C-alpha cells in the first residue's frame, strides 16, 4: 500500500471525467468488509426488499426527501418552488412529486431542515478525496474502500473507475452486490475488485415476493464469481418472522457448502431504521411495521441454525 503522501498516485488530470450518483460516503465503517473502511453508497437498486435499510438508494437519481415531523409550516418552500410541488391539503403539507425537477430551490429555503435532496452527482476525484484521507487507517487495520448502495453494478463505468483509482493507491477494494445483474458486469468488476460481499436474501420459493426479483440469476452469478476465483463473503440479511425460516437457512447452507472458497458468512440482523425513511422518500413500498430489532439471543440462534447445517457464520465486524 502506498504511503499517505501529499497527493494521489493516480492522475485525475488524465482520467476520463466519469461521474456517478452517490447518496452517502461513510467513513470509519467496520461492517462492510475487513478492517476500517470508507463505504461509498451508490444510488439505484433493481430490488425492492421489504426490509430495505436504505430506501433512499432505490431511485437512481437525486430526489427530494421530506420529513413532515420537522416541518414548521412557514410556507417558504411554497413560494420558492417554481413547479408547484408543494401544496396544502386539509391543512397538511403534501408534495406532488411528479412535478418535481430536483432544482433544490425549496431545500435552500427550508429553515427547519425538513427538505433534503438525497443523492448527488460526483466525479471519481471527488469521491476519492475523502477515501484517500484515511489511508493510514486502511494500512493499520487491513481496511480499504467498499462500494455499496443501492447496487454498484447499475453504474458499472463509475464503479470500475473508482476501483481503478483505489487500486492505483494500493487500497483494498470491495463491492457489495445483490447479484441481480448481467454476468458481464460482474465479470468486468471482478478483475478490479479484491473482495465481493454477496447478499443472499431468501430462498427461491419466497425470493420474488420478498425482494421483487427471482433468485435464479443471483444464484448463477454467485457460482460464476466463485468458479472464477473471486474472493467472496456471503451476507445473510435476516428479518424475524419474515425470512428466518428453516427452509431459508437450509437453502443458504446448501449453497455455501457447495462453494468451498467462500471466506466468511455474515448474518445481518434486521433493524427498523429504513421504515420511517420510506414515507420521507415518497415511496410506495409497504413498510414492515411492528417488527422489533432482534435480540442478541435471536441472532445467536440463527448462527446456531447455520452451524447445525455445517456453516460457520458470524455477525459483521466480528473476527
Angstrom distance (rounded) from CA 299 to CA 145: 27
- Number of domains the chain is built from: 2
Could you tell me if 135 and 37 lie in one domain?
yes
Contact 230, 208 (CB under 8 A): no
Angstrom distance (rounded) from CA 77 to CA 69: 16
pLDDT of 5 strictly over 60: no
Could you tell me if 93 and 179 lie in one domain?
no
Could you tell me if 72 and 55 lie in one domain?
no
Q: State how far the alpha carbon of 307 is from the alpha carbons of 45, 72, 199, 233, 303, in Å.
A: 31, 52, 19, 16, 6
Rounded to 5 degrees, φ, ψ at 105 are -65, -40
This prediction's pTM? 0.90
Could you tell me if 113 and 167 lie in one domain?
no
125: cell is: 476525484
pLDDT of 3 strictly over 60: no
The pLDDT tens digits of the residues spanning 249-287 come to 999 999 999 999 999 999 999 987 777 788 888 887 766
Angle subtended at Cα 113 by Cα 111 and Cα 114, rounded to the nearest 5 degrees: 110
Inter-axis angle of helices 246-258 and 296-308, nearest 10: 50
Range of the domain at 76: 63-118
Q: Does any domain span residue 102?
A: yes
Could you tell me if 113 and 243 lie in one domain?
no
Q: Does any domain span residue 86?
A: yes
Could you tell me if 196 and 55 lie in one domain?
yes
pLDDT of 12 strictly over 70: no
The pLDDT tens digits of the residues spanning 169-227 come to 999 999 999 999 999 999 999 999 999 999 999 999 999 999 999 999 999 999 999 99
Could you tell me if 280 and 152 lie in one domain?
yes
Could you tell me if 71 and 205 lie in one domain?
no
DSSP state of 314: B
Q: Does any domain span residue 141?
A: yes
Number of H helices, E strands in the chain: 11, 12
Rg of the chain over Cα atoms, rounded to whole angstroms, equals 21
Amino acid at each position: 500500500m502506498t504511503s499517505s503522501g501529499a497527493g494521489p498516485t493516480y492522475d485525475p488530470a488524465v482520467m476520463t471525467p466519469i461521474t456517478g450518483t452517490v447518496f452517502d460516503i461513510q467513513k470509519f465503517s467496520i461492517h462492510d468488509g475487513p478492517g476500517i473502511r470508507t463505504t461509498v453508497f451508490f444510488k439505484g437498486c433493481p430490488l425492492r426488499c421489504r426490509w430495505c435499510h436504505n430506501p433512499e438508494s432505490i431511485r437512481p437519481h437525486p430526489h427530494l426527501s421530506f420529513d413532515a415531523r420537522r416541518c414548521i409550516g412557514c410556507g417558504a418552500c411554497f413560494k420558492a418552488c417554481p413547479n408547484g410541488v408543494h401544496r396544502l391539503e386539509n391543512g397538511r403539507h403534501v408534495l406532488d412529486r411528479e412535478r418535481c425537477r430536483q432544482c433544490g430551490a425549496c431545500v435552500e429555503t427550508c429553515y427547519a431542515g425538513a427538505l433534503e435532496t438525497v443523492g448527488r452527482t460526483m466525479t471519481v476525484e471527488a469521491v476519492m478525496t475523502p477515501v484517500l484521507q484515511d489511508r493510514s487507517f486502511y494500512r493499520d487495520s487491513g481496511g480499504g474502500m467498499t462500494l455499496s448502495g443501492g447496487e454498484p453494478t447499475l453504474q458499472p463505468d463509475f464503479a470500475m473507475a473508482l476501483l481503478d483509482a483505489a487500486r492505483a493507491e494500493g487500497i483494498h477494494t470491495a463491492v457489495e452486490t445483490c447479484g441481480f445483474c448481467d454476468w458481464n458486469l460482474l465479470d468486468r468488476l471482478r478483475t478490479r475488485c479484491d473482495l465481493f460481499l454477496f447478499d443472499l436474501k431468501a430462498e427461491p420459493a419466497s425470493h420474488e415476493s420478498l425482494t421483487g426479483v427471482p433468485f435464479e440469476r443471483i444464484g448463477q452469478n454467485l457460482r460464476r464469481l466463485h468458479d472464477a476465483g473471486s474472493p467472496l463473503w456471503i451476507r445473510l440479511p435476516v428479518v424475524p418472522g419474515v425470512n428466518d425460516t428453516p427452509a431459508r437457512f437450509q437453502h443458504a447452507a446448501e449453497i455455501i457448502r457447495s462453494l468451498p472458497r467462500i471466506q466468511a458468512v455474515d448474518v445481518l440482523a434486521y433493524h427498523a431504521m429504513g421504515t420511517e425513511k420510506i414515507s420521507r422518500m415518497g415511496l410506495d413500498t409497504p413498510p414492515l411495521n411492528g417488527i422489533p430489532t432482534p435480540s442478541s439471543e435471536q441472532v445467536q440462534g440463527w448462527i446456531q441454525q447455520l452451524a447445525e447445517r455445517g456453516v460457520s457464520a458470524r455477525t459483521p465486524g466480528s473476527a
